Amino acid sequence: MTQQITAVSALASFLHKAKSRGQTVGFVPTMGALHEGHLAIVRKARQENNLTVVSIYVNERQFNNSEDFLKYPRHEESDLSLLQGEGVDIVYFPQTAELFTQENLPINFSLNGLDVLLEGASRPGHFKGVVEVVHALFMHVQPTKAYFGLKDFQQVAVLRKMVKELQLPVELVAVPTVRAENGLALSSRNQRLSEEQRQEALILFKTLCFLKEHYQKTPHNELLAQAKANIHSSSLKLDYLEIVDPETLISLNEHHPQALACVAAFCGEVRLIDNMLLIAQ
């Protein structure tokens, strides 16, 4: 049966008992408004652990735009029933007052520039907010493994860096992006799109496929320019489209054996992101 927990003391005592029986804990942090992408992550966590904890917390610290925070979809009831349907053991609703305390101050360390590229450049402070909340949640849950979706590729890179730098005893597991049948990457933000906008937003997936298809055969800069022109000719407002090294996330200016295309664009008021590896690994 799924337990709903809001107090960190209740969470700690439940998990302490489980861990002392040798049980492993898989943790899936979320901001709610769950979709199939989240559920794929939850299923993986369930397969690999004795217990699964999912947290739901819309983290104001990672929004650089207060309107975006206010408009972020919130569906606690339906989220809960989806998680019950998946057989999740604990749904944790952290309380802001318990996340950051005198004993557990927001973590502060250098991400060596990983946080100022791509999303970090467009959303100053975003990754600081992500790292602060995920670190606080890790302190509460102390999971064996924690699961994140690759749609937020840079988030995974930033969190891997955090785990390594702070030598946290948790294994991060990255789960592939889940797409709608037409290719649109699933995102909680899609709930704010009209039917027409969902069709228009497909230009992002199509452009990533175009880059992947032509990457080997077309000169780098020419290809990138064509891809950008594709998006500019749509109704979306391009924020960035870059081909980067998937390890460092630094922009590439020429062909590279490992390359990742990352895109962000506004569809109406809604900011969407997506990415695709250009060379099969």
Q: Write out the residues near ligand PAF by the rule CB under 6 A.
A: 29-31, 59, 62, 130, 133-134, 152, 155
For residue 54, the one-letter residue type is V
CA distance 25 to 248: 30
Q: 129 vs 246, which CB is nearer to ligand PAF? A: 129
Beta strands in 113-201 (DSSP E): 145-149, 171-175
Q: Which residues are 271's β-sheet partners?
A: 266
CA distance 149 to 155: 9
Q: Which residues are 27's β-sheet partners?
A: 53, 146
In the complex, least distance from residue 184 CB atom to ligand PAF, rounded to whole angstroms: 18
Q: 125 vs 219, which CB is nearer to ligand PAF? A: 125
Active-site residue flag, 38: yes
Q: 152 vs 242, which CB is nearer to ligand PAF? A: 152
Q: 29 vs 89, which CB is nearer to ligand PAF? A: 29
Strand order in the sheet with 3-5: 3-5, 90-92, 51-56, 25-30, 145-149, 171-175
In the complex, least distance from residue 47 CB atom to ligand PAF, rounded to whole angstroms: 20
In the complex, least distance from residue 107 CB atom to ligand PAF, rounded to whole angstroms: 13
In the complex, least distance from residue 122 CB atom to ligand PAF, rounded to whole angstroms: 15
Q: 35, 38, 126, 256: which one is catalytic? A: 38
Handedness of CA 97, 99, 103, 106 (dihedral sign): negative
CA distance 127 to 205: 24
* Catalytic positions: 38
